[in-house]
C-alpha cells in the first residue's frame, strides 16, 4: 500500500532540491508534484518547460549541481553552431537538454497533452514521483518593468532579473484549467507542501489557475509552506528584490501573509525565529528549523521535519 498521496507545489531549483530530499523520506510513488509552467518559452522553435525539467532532472539525479538547472556535464555544441549562424544564444541550452526539448516539441505537435509528455519524459529518466504540469493550457508569465512588459525568460535570464518589477501578469491563466488529476490530487492528498519557491513567479502562476487556490483553501489545515526567504534574502533568484519592488518587506512572515488563506503550517528558518509570533498571528502554526539545503543530508533533514509536522508516516 503506498498510502494517500502527498502533493507538492513546485517552482524550479529550490523546489527540486527539497523534493529530492522528500523522495528519500517518503515513497516516491506517493508524491504528486504540481509544477509551474508559467516560465515555459518557445526558443529556437522548441517548447521549453524549465521548471518541469529542473524537477525531473533533479529527481533523476541528472541536474547540474551548481546551477540547479540543465544537465550535468552537458556540452553546448548546438548552441555554438546557432551562435555562428547569428542566432540569439543567451538562453543556455545544452546538447542533452535539447534532446528533451526536441522530444517534447514533437510530441506536442503530434497532439499529445503536456501532462502526457511530462510523464513520458519523467518515466524514461527513471523518476518515480508523479509530475503534473499545473495546466495543459498555455500560460505565460509576463513581467512589468519600466522598459515595458517582458516575456519571463527575457526578464530572468537575458536581463538577469535586474529590472524593477512593476507588475506580474499570468497571460492565459484565466482561460486555463488545472491539468487532469491536479484538483483530485489536492482533494485526496493526505498533506500538501508548498515548496520553498518564489511566491510571485513560481507559486503565482499555479495559484492563478482557476480552481487551484480554492481547492487549497479547503485543505488549509493540511497545507504546509516552506519559506523561500531566509534572513531577508532569497537563497536563489529574485524573490527578495521582487518583494521590495512591490513595497513588501522581504521577510518570511510577509511570504506567510501572501499564503494566509490556504496555508496552515509555515516553516521558517532558525534565523527568522523572531518572526514565529507574526506567523502565528496569521492563524498558522509556525515551525522553526534549518531550511538551508546545502547538500543531500540537509534536504532530507528538512523533508523529514516537514513530514513529521504534517503528521505523515514515512
Ligand atoms: N537559467 C539561467 O539563469 N540561464 C540560462 O541560460 C538558463 C537556461 C535554461 C535552460 C533549460 C532549463 O530547463 C532551464 C534554464 N535556466 C536558465 C533556468 C530557468 O530559466 C529558471 O531557473 C526558471 O525558469 C525559473 O524557475
- Per-residue pLDDT at 2 exceeds 80: no
Residue 236 within any structural domain of the chain: yes
Give me the pLDDT at residue 3, please. Answer: 79
Ligand 1 contacts CB of residue 11 (under 6 A): yes
Give me the pLDDT at residue 166, please. Answer: 93
Residue 260 within any structural domain of the chain: yes
Q: Cell numbers at residue 113, please?
A: 497533452
Instruction: Report the chain's mean pLDDT, rounded to a whole number.
Output: 96
Q: What size, in residues, is the chain?
A: 314
How many domains does one find in the chain?
A: 1
Angle of helix 95-109 relative to helix 114-124, nearest 10 degrees? 140
Angle at 33 between CA 250 and CA 209, to 5 degrees: 70
Q: CA 253, CA 27: separation in Å to the nearest integer?
A: 31
- Listed in order, strand segments (DSSP E) in the chain are 6-10, 31-35, 41-43, 46-48, 130-133, 140-145, 148-151, 167-171, 191-194, 223-226, 229-230, 233-234, 265-269, 285-289
Nearest to 17 by CA among 224, 300, 308: 300
Residue 280 within any structural domain of the chain: yes
Domain encompassing residue 227: 6-44+131-139+172-309
Provide the CA 55 distance to its chain's centre, in angstroms: 8
**Span from the CA of 273 to the centroid of ligand 1 (angstroms):** 32
Each residue's pLDDT tens digit, 54-99: 999 999 999 999 999 999 999 999 999 999 999 999 999 999 999 9
Q: Cell numbers at residue 98, please?
A: 535539447
Give me the pLDDT at residue 253, please. Answer: 98
Q: CA 32, CA 20: separation in Å to the nearest integer?
A: 13
Ligand 1 atom 21 nearest Cα: 50
- pLDDT-based confidence at residue 1 (cuts at 50, 70, 90): very low
Give me the pLDDT at residue 237, please. Answer: 87
Residue 194 within any structural domain of the chain: yes
Q: CA 17, CA 196: separation in Å to the nearest integer?
A: 9
| Distance between start and end Cα atoms, the chain | 12
Residue 100 within any structural domain of the chain: no
Q: CA 165, CA 192: separation in Å to the nearest integer?
A: 30
Ligand 1 atom 8 nearest Cα: 92
247 — alpha (psi -120 to 50), left (phi > 0) or beta?
left
Q: Cell numbers at residue 249, please?
A: 518587506
Predicted structure pTM score? 0.97
Q: CA 153, CA 80: separation in Å to the nearest integer?
A: 20
Contact 76, 95 (CB under 8 A): yes
Residue 77 within any structural domain of the chain: no
At 173, is the secondary structure helix, strand, or coil? coil
User: What average pLDDT does the segment 257-261 reach?
Assistant: 98
Ligand 1 atom 14 nearest Cα: 50
Q: CA 196, CA 199: separation in Å to the nearest integer?
A: 9
Provide the CA 126 distance to its chain's centre, in angstroms: 20
CA dihedral angle for residue 303, residue 33, residue 30, residue 228, rounded to 10 degrees = 10
CATH of residue 250's domain is 3.40.50.10680
Q: CA 4, CA 234: separation in Å to the nearest integer?
A: 32
Ligand 1 contacts CB of residue 76 (under 6 A): no
Each residue's pLDDT tens digit, 165-191: 999 999 999 999 999 999 999 999 999
Residue 190 within any structural domain of the chain: yes
Residue 298 within any structural domain of the chain: yes
Instruction: Work out which ligand 1 atom sits closest to the CA atom of 97.
Output: 11
Each residue's pLDDT tens digit, 146-164: 999 999 999 999 999 999 9
283 — alpha (psi -120 to 50), left (phi > 0) or beta?
left
Give me the pLDDT at residue 270, please. Answer: 97
Amino acid at each position: 500500500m503506498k498510502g494517500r498521496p502527498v502533493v507538492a507545489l513546485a517552482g524550479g531549483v529550490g523546489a527540486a532540491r527539497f523534493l529530492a530530499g522528500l523522495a528519500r523520506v517518503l515513497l516516491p510513488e506517493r508524491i504528486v508534484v504540481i509544477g509551474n509552467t508559467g516560465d515555459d518559452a518557445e526558443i529556437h522553435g522548441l517548447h521549453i518547460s524549465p521548471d518541469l525539467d529542473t524537477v525531473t532532472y533533479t529527481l533523476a539525479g541528472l541536474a547540474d549541481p551548481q546551477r540547479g538547472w540543465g544537465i550535468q556535464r552537458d556540452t553546448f555544441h548546438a548552441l555554438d553552431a546557432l551562435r555562428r549562424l547569428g542566432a540569439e544564444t543567451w538562453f543556455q541550452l545544452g546538447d542533452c537538454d535539447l534532446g528533451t526539448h526536441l522530444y517534447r516539441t514533437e510530441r506536442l505537435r503530434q497532439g499529445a497533452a503536456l501532462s502526457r509528455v511530462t510523464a513520458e519524459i519523467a518515466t524514461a529518466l527513471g523518476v518515480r514521483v508523479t509530475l503534473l504540469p499545473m495546466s495543459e493550457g498555455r500560460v505565460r508569465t509576463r513581467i512589468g518593468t519600466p522598459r515595458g512588459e517582458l516575456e519571463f525568460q527575457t526578464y530572468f535570464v537575458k536581463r538577469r532579473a535586474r529590472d524593477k518589477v512593476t507588475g506580474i501578469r499570468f497571460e492565459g491563466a484565466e482561460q486555463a484549467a488545472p491539468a487532469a488529476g491536479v484538483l483530485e490530487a489536492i482533494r485526496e492528498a493526505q498533506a500538501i507542501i508548498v515548496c520553498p519557491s518564489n511566491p510571485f513567479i513560481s507559486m503565482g502562476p499555479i495559484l492563478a489557475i482557476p480552481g487551484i487556490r480554492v481547492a487549497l483553501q479547503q485543505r488549509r489545515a493540511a497545507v504546509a509552506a516552506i519559506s523561500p526567504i531566509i534572513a531577508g534574502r532569497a537563497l536563489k533568484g529574485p524573490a527578495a528584490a521582487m518583494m521590495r519592488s512591490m513595497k513588501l518587506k522581504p521577510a518570511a512572515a510577509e511570504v506567510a501573509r501572501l499564503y494566509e488563506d490556504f496555508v496552515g503550517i509555515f516553516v521558517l528558518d532558525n534565523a527568522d525565529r523572531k518572526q514565529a509570533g507574526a506567523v502565528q498571528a496569521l492563524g498558522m502554526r509556525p515551525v522553526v528549523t534549518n531550511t538551508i539545503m546545502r547538500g543531500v543530508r540537509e534536504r532530507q533533514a528538512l523533508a523529514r521535519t516537514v513530514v513529521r509536522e504534517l503528521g505523515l508516516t514515512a
